[in-house]
A and B are shown apart, each in its own frame.
Chain A
């Protein structure tokens, strides 16, 4: 594979942006042309990304389709892309969800269509870039680039409190990112000290030996930045606000892909770069994951707003992903990656579905609905299927992910597995209770009597998600097969180094080294 396929896929959406820039948006017709161009661009990107699928070799543990060109040589920064079994499905998830999202905005976004579609396409490029960048500088550029279109999507096309939500989203993420930037520079510095080479290449850093304290500090900073993105309890409160205020498309991308940046960050950067730090913080992170699972579910249960309910359910679901990562068993890690896809599909679909009724009724409050199964039977059926997937009923995707994560956890940490498994019960409670209040009972609100059922366009963008719900549920090996090698490699990277460094009282040693440093500072 000599063609720079990753570059093509990453930057194809920008071609669409270029085209849209020159299009007028005066009439309804010209707006449709803009939407059409955006849709076609994203579909073409998806089709081209299937080339990645065709060329991917699951027997290779390391990176494939690597492109490495010097970019800013004086600082050792290079344009370095690559893909492995971990990022493979996340890239495809991105190219898969974007056209669906763009199709969903057809009638939802009426104002500033041009700017909106540009933002969507730029966002796609940024997300793809984040998943394939292997140079820390390049990664950081893409990482920050994601912020801007998302900030605009919430802030311009959002609901009533959109400015508050957008600023909160931006500041929260930026705080974490800046901390991470400092640590990236620190990492580069240490690497230069040791080897004399100035580089931002991720692969070079894997062998860098850091002083223990810095390893802990750097891990903590990376973990903090990514924990905000995930979001982990207690850094999650930006999420419900952002989701409630964001337009449907924003919520879908936010939940479907942006949140995965956090978990991906752990698996790609924080854990393999700083295995010692990872080992030190693992108990804390497992605890927070379990709290997040239960806390998110309980708070979701009492939400009056459907979107907020789904937002808190994301906190719970992402808790599973984090738990799976940190138990470091094959089942846990693969389940976690699969759960990232599942969450993208199921929660993405849930937000799309909420958007469908919001467009018709302009409210997301559960109490405004009731009995609409009779009015919108097709909608109710699709909603039910997605609900079942979200609560992990066997034969849907959600079950496989949760099962693998919980089994992987049970092997090494029974208490965490038992506590996390209660989230499965709570998940059924909040989802089915919401489903009952929205769909069952008699229609009491006269405004609900004439809501039109799903139209063809909506069916078209929901259908692929339904297909994947069952595809992953029934044939998970198709998806898992691609991960095996890379996940083994990942676990090896983190664990082997941990074993080498492990001391019986390593945790106390770490505390001691902190104590040693503190007097140094005060001098």
Chain B
């Protein structure tokens, strides 16, 4: 029985249609109920499917449902269908589960917005496309979801479209993603001409087969091209260098949207895609190296920008970019399961962080500037504690969730089988960025919840804890931020805790087993002693603790003068980082403006002047002018005609007589 999978996306779709078409008629209660129950049902069905999946023997763990033959032309056969295996099972639970919590949170958060029905319609639509993305059984269905979530993101970022900045941010998100999708589409084309299919099972089977037959070798150019093109798509969707620029701007949308779309789910789609395509990437180590280098560079760069942001959501946005970098490091060093593990823990703690920030912003009457906050811990205890838990998680402090996932990634980077030396560098930069992460996240905590309140009287009066629809999801997510990591306890620690198994790794293993086989076939995997592993683990915790202490020193103990003094002292660096390395400005001057001016040139000069003016109207003008000129000959005066006659006669006479 697997013909019920379609219900998972169907519920959100129905919710979208009801809220979109009838939202204004069914009232607030109706909209809230429709939206939340649609996602609730989707979650229940997903849970049901996963239970069925787990109930099967390991080698049969794949639920497939084909709805209809979508496109069939010549040798192109694409089905519209779904597949749930271990990987999509993890993803669909995260997606529907977190979506459900955020829908509930939104009921409180968007309660007074006049366009609440439009909001919930878009949010349902997002979940619908996200389900297609993770459940699709081939790359094209994934791509439908891929662009569809981009559309939902566009609509939700620009949700308050009367503000120009919001509409700009939405458009920027869509267009930057389109640039990524350009790569994704070309990647699919390369895949199609190489394997003759876009279906996961067929492509991976064929890739494996061709590898064994020797038809494709490791690092074959076609594999590198395919993987890099697909990764271009991922840099757009998952905000990596050079296409990350849309994500910080995307914070213009309502905060629950930032939590759901721009932190927990949509932006991780690229990680899912790479993990899904693990066999292809494993066959292209060069592409993997590019992925992990870009990823670690993104992680470091975004973390440094995060240090100096004053907008609470911007800090979280850059931390998301940075954490996405870690996930890509994970999948980039062939530790696919670790990437997915961090994706999962990140979904918990980042959703929690964003929702907490939403709770704070709600209390601050919409103010997002941390310089106006301070001392909120006493007035908003639940928000404070949940946010602290999530912050400890992101800082990598044991036993919180990201300690396990981030550490696994760094360890796997250190032991990168394809490029052992580069792996060490990636590990070092990643660990450094982890320290910075702990620093700026605790800066956020200290500036927001500790010290004295720096806002206006009116704000101080208004500050309050949020309603239960908002705090309930916070508590659930904080709980998951604490415990989520326990699903993937490394063997090293597990053996000392009475042989606790690594549940997630074992569960996901079959999806990645061919890749692991290819890796061990291709290179000798170096052995490292437990001592090394313990040392690395200790050093990353140490770095985190140092970051926290430094943040305490600067923003708590010496909050009055030290930050300003440092900014003064390192003005050049400060400005560079504060202005986000001027990347937006550089893109504007180097890309946007030239294209705009070139287009105006094409229009005014090439089109209007040369093609239309000279090429098309030129002959017309010539005919008109020459007729106008010739018209003077025929002016109706006898004298003129007489003169022409005489002149003609002379010419003729000269021609016949004078020539001799």
Known: A394-B143, A410-B189, A424-B185. A331 touches B151 (CB 8 A): no
Write the nearest CB–CB distance from A208 to chain B, whole angstroms.
29
Cross-chain contact of B175 among A422, A428, A440 (Cβ < 8 A): A428
Q: What is the bound-complex CA distance between A168 and B144, given in angstroms?
A: 43
Write the nearest CB–CB distance from B180 to chain A, whole angstroms.
10
Which A residues touch B611, using CB under 8 A? 234, 237
Known: A331-B73, A417-B189. A436 touches B167 (CB 8 A): yes
Is B186 within 8 A of A421, CB to CB?
yes
Is A329 within 8 A of B616, CB to CB?
no
Which residue of the partner chain B has the closest CB to A410? B189
Cross-chain contact of B161 among A329, A330, A403, A441 (Cβ < 8 A): A441
Which B residues touch A388, using CB under 8 A? 151
Which A residues touch B154, using CB under 8 A? 432
Is A407 within 8 A of B612, CB to CB?
no
If over half of A's interface residues share one DSSP class (helix, strand or loop), that class is named, otherwise mixed; here it is helix
Which of the 9-residue segments B323-331, B375-383, B404-412, B597-605 touches chain A? B597-605
Known: A168-B616, A406-B185. A429 touches B175 (CB 8 A): yes
Which residue of the partner chain B has the closest CB to A421? B182
Known: A299-B607, A302-B599, A425-B175. A407 touches B76 (CB 8 A): yes
Is A433 within 8 A of B171, CB to CB?
yes
Is B162 within 8 A of A441, CB to CB?
yes
Q: What is the bound-complex CA distance between A165 and B445, given in angstroms?
A: 66
Is B596 within 8 A of A441, CB to CB?
no
Is A425 within 8 A of B178, CB to CB?
yes
Write the nearest CB–CB distance from B143 to chain A, whole angstroms.
6
Q: Does A75 contact B (CB under 8 A)?
A: no
Is A303 within 8 A of B603, CB to CB?
yes
Query: Is the interface on chain A under 10, 10 to 19, 20 to 34, or 35 or more residues?
Result: 35 or more
Which residue of the partner chain A has the closest CB to B613? A237
Is B598 within 8 A of A298, CB to CB?
yes
Which A residues touch B163, using CB under 8 A? 441
Write the nearest CB–CB distance from B179 to chain A, whole angstroms.
6
Cross-chain contact of B70 among A168, A238, A476 (Cβ < 8 A): A476
Query: Is the interface on chain B under 10, 10 to 19, 20 to 34, or 35 or more residues?
Result: 35 or more
Is B144 within 8 A of A395, CB to CB?
yes
Which B residues touch A429, using CB under 8 A? 175
Which A residues touch B70, using CB under 8 A? 474-477
Which residue of the partner chain B has the closest CB to A171? B620
Q: Does A400 contact B (CB under 8 A)?
A: yes
Q: Does B69 contact A (CB under 8 A)?
A: yes
Is A334 within 8 A of B602, CB to CB?
no
Is A436 within 8 A of B171, CB to CB?
yes
**Which of chain A's residues 357-413 have a Cβ closer than 8 Å to chain B?**
371, 373-374, 388, 393-395, 399-400, 403-404, 406-407, 410-411
Is B616 within 8 A of A441, CB to CB?
no
Chain A 316-355 near chain B by CB (<8 Å), digits 1 or 0: 0000000000000111001100000000000000000000
Which B residues touch A400, using CB under 8 A? 71
Q: Does B68 contact A (CB under 8 A)?
A: yes
Chain B 345-360 near chain A by CB (<8 Å), digits 1 or 0: 0000000000000000
Which B residues touch A329, using CB under 8 A? 74
Is B189 within 8 A of A441, CB to CB?
no
Is A480 within 8 A of B151, CB to CB?
no
Is A403 within 8 A of B185, CB to CB?
yes
Q: Does B574 contact A (CB under 8 A)?
A: no
Is A422 within 8 A of B182, CB to CB?
yes
Which B residues touch A477, using CB under 8 A? 69-72
Q: Does A442 contact B (CB under 8 A)?
A: yes
Chain B 373-407 near chain A by CB (<8 Å), digits 1 or 0: 00000000000000000000000000000000000
Is B189 within 8 A of A234, CB to CB?
no
Q: What is the bound-complex CA distance between A424 and B154, given in angstroms?
A: 17
The 3 closest A-B pairs by CB, nearest first: A330-B74, A440-B167, A237-B612
- A selection of 23 A-B contacts at a CB cut-off of 8 Å is A168-B616, A172-B616, A237-B607, A237-B615, A298-B598, A299-B599, A299-B602, A330-B75, A371-B162, A388-B151, A403-B185, A406-B189, A410-B192, A410-B193, A411-B193, A417-B189, A425-B178, A428-B174, A432-B154, A432-B175, A477-B69, A477-B71, A480-B72
